[in-house]
Each structure stands twice: as structure tokens, then as C-alpha cells.
Amino acid sequence: MQRINVDEAKERLSHYLERVERGEVFIICRSNVPVAELRALPPIRTAPRKLGRHKGQVRIEPSFFEALDEADSSAWSGGGA
């Protein structure tokens, strides 16, 4: 990580952004005191995520689908215990 002064960053922002896109990281300093970090953002997903990726790996117990008893149902709906 390189340190750059805020004035230098303002003056040559396009130059530093190109370097950030290539993977470099910069610490921006004011009077030699670090105040910010300039780094690339993770890529934005352009395709939808594939569903069913964990098929067979996640097990839901059959009891999950059973109706709740009166007390539990009341507690979950805000009626108290």
C-alpha cells in the first residue's frame, strides 16, 4: 500500500483510479496522517445466481413444516407466551 497526499490524489485522481483498477491500494493522507483508503470495489454480479447450488447438502427436518401449537403460534404472532 502506498501513501499519497490528498492534494496529489485530487490532482492525479484518474491516474490513481487506473492503478486501483489494476489491483493497487492507496492510503490517502492529510498532513501525513492517514484518513482514507482508495481500493477497488468487488465486481458487480451481472448474471443471476444459480439456484439449487446446495441441493442435497441442506436438510430440512419434516417437523419444520408441521403446524405450531396454540402457544407457539400466539408467541410468534405477537400475542405473548
63-75 tens-digit pLDDT: 888 888 888 888 8
Q: Is the pTM of this model over 0.85?
A: no
Handedness of CA 9, 14, 22, 50 (dihedral sign): positive
Residue owning grid cell 400475542: 79
Place of cell 446446495: 54
Tell which residue, 24, 29, 34, 36, has the closest CA to residue 7. Answer: 29
pLDDT of residue 80: 62
Point out the residues of the chain with pLDDT beneath 50: none
In CATH, the number for domain 2-38 is 3.40.1620
Distance between CA 20 and CA 26 in Å, rounded?
8
pLDDT given at position 77: 84
